[in-house]
Amino acid sequence: SQELEQSPQSLIVQEGKNLTINCTSSKTLYGLYWYKQKYGEGLIFLMMLQKGGEEKSHEKITAKLDEKKQQSSLHITASQPSHAGIYLCGAASGAGSYQLTFGKGTKLSVIP
């Protein structure tokens, strides 16, 4: 079965600093999804990457997909307290599969 490993497990940064979260798959990636979760709440969809080399940005968050490395990265520029939360990556279990496997998450804290 597919496994997604996220690194780091937790991260504490000072407001205004840049940071990167990585998600590495044990198998070929068929679509990669990034979600954010605040404590006690549900998962909010951030971005979806489907093709190797694809890069998407939304406000100060950029996600990239490296198909050859079976890896995705999530980069936050000039972090703000509102970026704090748990970031999870999810990937399809196979080509055309509806099922998603998730990493264990990266907990981000942003110190004002």
Partner 1 sequence: NAGVTQTPKFQVLKTGQSMTLQCAQDMNHEYMSWYRQDPGMGLRLIHYSVGAGITDQGEVPNGYNVSRSTTEDFPLRLLSAAPSQTSVYFCASRRSANQPQHFGDGTRLSIL
Contacting partner 1 (CB under 8 A), which of 33, 61, 64, 91? 33
Distance CA 82, CA 36 (A): 11
- Of 10-18, 20-28, 55-63, 88-96, the window that binds partner 1 (rule: CB under 8 A) is 88-96
**Does residue 102 bind partner 1 (CB under 8 A)?**
yes
Distance CA 33, CA 72 (A): 9
**Does residue 92 bind partner 1 (CB under 8 A)?**
yes
- Of 21-29, 45-53, 55-63, 70-78, the window that binds partner 1 (rule: CB under 8 A) is 45-53
Beta-bridged to residue 86, according to DSSP, are 37, 107
With tokens 């840049």, the residue in question is 18
**Does residue 27 bind partner 1 (CB under 8 A)?**
no
What separation in angstroms does the CA of 47 have from each of 77, 96, 111?
16, 18, 25
**Does residue 88 bind partner 1 (CB under 8 A)?**
yes
